[in-house]
Amino acid sequence: MMQEAIEVIRLLWKGEIADHYGTYYIVEKAKVFSLPETPPPIIVSATGPIAARVAGASGDQLVLPMSDPEKVRAVMDVFRAAGGAGKPRMTQPSFCYHEDEARAKEIAYGWWPIAANRGQINRELPSWKHNEQVAGMVTPEKVAEKVVCSPDLKRFVAEVRSAEDLGYDRISLHQVGLEQEGFLAFARGRLLPALW
């Protein structure tokens, strides 16, 4: 289904009146009138081998959450083998920068409790009420196992280096909560210089 969706998107990006009669989608006399000069990359999320094959064969970039290193390596291997060799591989580690580590854990727990959930649960819950119920089953400490909650530069650098070691070449830094200005000042003044 995802592969066919990508085919439809690329067809429409030609800017012509298009028809598509596929297994999952029917498009009749469709046209995109305001196309960019250069189409944006199609970034495909994959956490398993089926999506990794589609990402490698049809996508322009892979996005994969940081998780078990063996799983990440396996997905990247499938992605490369399916045509993704040389294509960008992106992840988004989550951080909660705050001068007070205990407060950082509270903020991360309040804004991003799903970080502590495992498996498919975050993708399978049918409503926001279910998400709230599941969020109540985790603790700030469990969230902090998945979100770097700290003012410690070394922990932030280690998380980014860990992503690089897994084979990611695009790393989006995700600051959890409303403390964006403080994080940006920290990133500009200390984190980014430490990474380069």
**Domain assignment present for 126:** yes
| Assigned domain for 98 exists | yes
Q: Where are the alpha helices (DSSP H) in the chain?
A: 2-12, 49-58, 69-79, 101-111, 121-124, 128-135, 140-144, 153-165, 180-186, 192-195
10 neighbors 20 (Cβ within 8 angstroms): no
Inside any domain, residue 63: no
Q: What pLDDT does 123 receive?
A: 66
CB-CB contact of 140 with 108 (8 Å): yes
CB 138 within 8 A of CB 77: no
The predicted pLDDT at position 110 comes to 92
Full-model pTM: 0.82
Asked whether the beta carbons of 48 and 77 are under 8 A apart, the reply is no
Residue 13 neighbours by CB under 8 Å, 6+ apart: 32, 35, 39
Residue 80 has pLDDT above 80, yes or no: yes
Mean pLDDT over the full length of the chain: 92
- What are the angstrom distances between the C-alpha of 164 and each of 38, 54, 132, 154, 187? 28, 23, 33, 15, 17
194 occurs within a structural domain:
yes
pLDDT band at 81 (very low <50, low <70, confident <90, very high): very high
Q: Would you give the end-to-end CA distance of the chain in angstroms?
A: 40
Structural domain tally of the chain? 1
Instruction: For residue 196, name the pLDDT band (cuts at 50, 70, 90).
Output: confident
- pLDDT at residue 113 tops 90: no
Output the pLDDT for position 65.
Answer: 86
Q: Is the pLDDT confidence value at 59 over 90?
A: yes
The answer to whether residue 4 scores a pLDDT higher than 70 is yes
Say if residue 7's pLDDT is above 70: yes
**Which has more pLDDT, 152 or 128?**
152
| Phi, psi for residue 154 in degrees, rounded to 5 | -60, -35
Give the integer Cα–Cα distance in Å for 13 and 30: 11
Q: Does residue 174 fall inside a structural domain?
A: yes
Asked whether residue 155 is domain-assigned, the answer is yes
| Residue 15, domain member (yes or no) | no
- Confirm if 62 and 46 have CB atoms less than 8 A apart: yes
Q: What is the pLDDT of residues 116-150, one digit of tens each?
A: 877 666 667 777 787 777 777 888 899 899 999 99
Distance of CA 77 to the CA centre of its chain: 18
Please check whether residue 159 lies inside any domain of the structure.
yes
Mean pLDDT of 188-193: 96
Q: Is the pLDDT of residue 172 over 80?
A: yes
* Distance set, CA 26 to CA 2, 19, 54 (Å): 14, 8, 20
How crowded is residue 161: how many other Cβ atoms within 10 Å of its Cβ? Answer: 12
The stretch 46-52 carries a mean pLDDT of 93
Domain of residue 183, residue span: 92-196
Mean pLDDT of 87-91: 96
